[in-house]
Amino acid sequence: MQKISESTVKRLSLYLRILEEFEAKNHETLSSEDLASRTGATSAQVRKDLSLFGSFGKRGLGYPISELSKKIRQIMGLEHPSRVILVGAGKLGAALVGYHGFAEHGFNIVAAYDKDRKRIGQSLGSLKVTAEDKLEADLRRDPVDIAIITTPSGVAQEVADRLARCGVRAVLNFTNTKLMVPGEIVVKDVNMAVELESLSFAIQNQYREAI
């Protein structure tokens, strides 16, 4: 199969969101243009993206919603819910545990670890914060594919190393550290400061262009 670009993958995820919305409303089909206008893509892009995986549409009609959404979930490995752990139960970590957006999309946070004595044992929603030194034993018993790192940046690499040794295959990294991991492990960085700074640049730049 051909290599799929990161941007295509992100868009698939957006298409899926729309498909699910219209599936709930019992609509039958959506055109590439419908999907495009609701996700910020172009219709050609939607068609290209989808055609990378096969030919799902009906000419003159559009794409059958429930069939396509099922197919996308299949492509993206979303047919079954995944178990996710979180390391670092500070403010951000706590919020992510409490945030229902993850569970809605089938990502269940099943444990939250922290080093800090004061946090261990505290309740986070339906979870209790676990001592971080239990990590290895827990993962040996119940492996997970995905971990979220919300520790301070200084310890992120060490945490990543431990996760890698325990067979974690994907990491969502909220710290500022560029993680070095074995090639088979996938890391995605989420850096909200970067996003805000991009906004700042865009504003600044508008101003500059106006001069």
Partner DNA sequence: GGATGTGAATGTCTTCACAGCT
Partner DNA sequence: AGCTGTGAAGACATTCACATCC
- Residues in 14-53 that interact with a second copy by CB under 8 A: 14, 16-17, 38-40
In sequence order, what are the residues at sequence separation of 6 or more whose Cβ sits closer than 8 angstroms to the Cβ of residue 187?
Answer: 160, 170, 171, 173, 179, 181
- For residue 102, the minimal CB distance to DNA (Å) is 26
Output 84 or 139, the one with its CB closest to a second copy. Answer: 84
Report DSSP letters for 33-50, one per residue: HHHHHHHT--HHHHHHHH
- Does residue 47 belong to the site contacting DNA (CB under 7 A)? yes
Q: What is the three-class DSSP state of 136? A: helix
- For residue 22, the minimal CB distance to a second copy (Å) is 13
**Binding region for DNA (CB under 7 A) out of 4-12, 104-112, 138-146, 190-198:** 4-12
Output 19 or 87, the one with its CB closest to DNA. Answer: 19
- For residue 5, the minimal CB distance to a second copy (Å) is 11
CB < 8 Å & 24+ apart, contacts of 25-34: 27/65, 28/64, 28/65, 29/58, 29/61, 29/62, 29/63, 29/64, 29/65, 30/62, 30/63, 30/65, 30/68, 31/61, 31/62, 31/63, 32/57, 32/62, 32/63, 34/62
C-alpha span between 151 and 119 (Å, rounded): 13
Give the one entry of a second copy, DNA, none that residue 165 binds, where binding means its C-beta sits below a cut-off of 5 to 8 angstroms depending on kind.
none
Q: Could you tell me the CA-to-CA distances from 201 to 118, 195, 198, 207 in Å, in that order?
A: 39, 10, 5, 10
- Does residue 42 belong to the site contacting DNA (CB under 7 A)? yes
Site string for a second copy, 85-124 (x = CB under 8 A): ------xx-xxx-xxxxx-xx-x-----------------
Binding site for DNA (CB under 7 A): 3, 5-8, 31-33, 41-45, 47-48, 50-51, 55-63
Binding site for a second copy (CB under 8 A): 1, 4, 6, 9-10, 12-14, 16-17, 38-40, 75-78, 82, 84, 91-92, 94-96, 98-102, 104-105, 107, 145-146, 169-172, 176, 178, 184, 186, 188, 190-206, 208-209
